[in-house]
Structure formats: structure tokens, C-alpha cells
Amino acid sequence: MKDVNVTELRQNLPAYLARVQRGERVRVFLRGKVIAEITPPSADQDGAALAGKLLRGSVLGYDEPLQPAVDAADWEVNR
């Protein structure tokens, strides 16, 4: 794990992000206190996998896809 202060991180951000991309962790300090930790994503944080987890169970299926998903009467309530 690499420790770095905010000023150093700001001046060399691409280099530190490259380290994170290679698998290193970077702790960011401000006035001697840890304020953040930059880590590479874990396997379950992969974009497609995460999107799948977030959407699981939220997608509805319809027997008649060309028909409205909600009764027309329900639209009147929103007016």
C-alpha cells in the first residue's frame, strides 16, 4: 500500500492511478489523517456484473409487449 498526501496525489494523479490499475492500493492523507483509499475494483465490481446485480429482479416481462404496461386509468391519477 502506498501512502500519499493530497498535494502529491494531485500533482501525479496519472502515475498513482496507473499503480492502482496494476493492483496497488493508495491511501490519501490530508494534514496527517487518512481521508480516502483508492483501490482497484474487486471482481464483483466489474461494470457489467454490477449492472446485472442492480437490475436483477427489476426488469418486467409482458405477455403482450405492444400493450400499455399500466392501465390507462392509472395515468389519470398522475394529472
Any idea what the CATH number is for the domain that residue 35 is in? Answer: 3.40.1620
Say yes or no to pLDDT of 4 above 80. yes
Task: Please check whether residue 51 lies inside any domain of the structure.
Answer: no
Q: Read off the pTM.
A: 0.56
Say yes or no to pLDDT of 78 above 80. no
Chain segment 25-57, per-residue pLDDT in tens:
999 999 999 999 999 987 666 677 777 788 787
Which residue, 22, 30, 28, is CA-closest to 9?
Answer: 28
Task: Please check whether residue 66 lies inside any domain of the structure.
Answer: no
Cell numbers found for residue 60: 418486467
What mean pLDDT comes out for the span 61-79? 73
Say yes or no to pLDDT of 60 above 90. no
Domain total in the chain:
1
Pseudo-torsion of CA 73, 79, 69, 65, nearest 10°?
A: 110
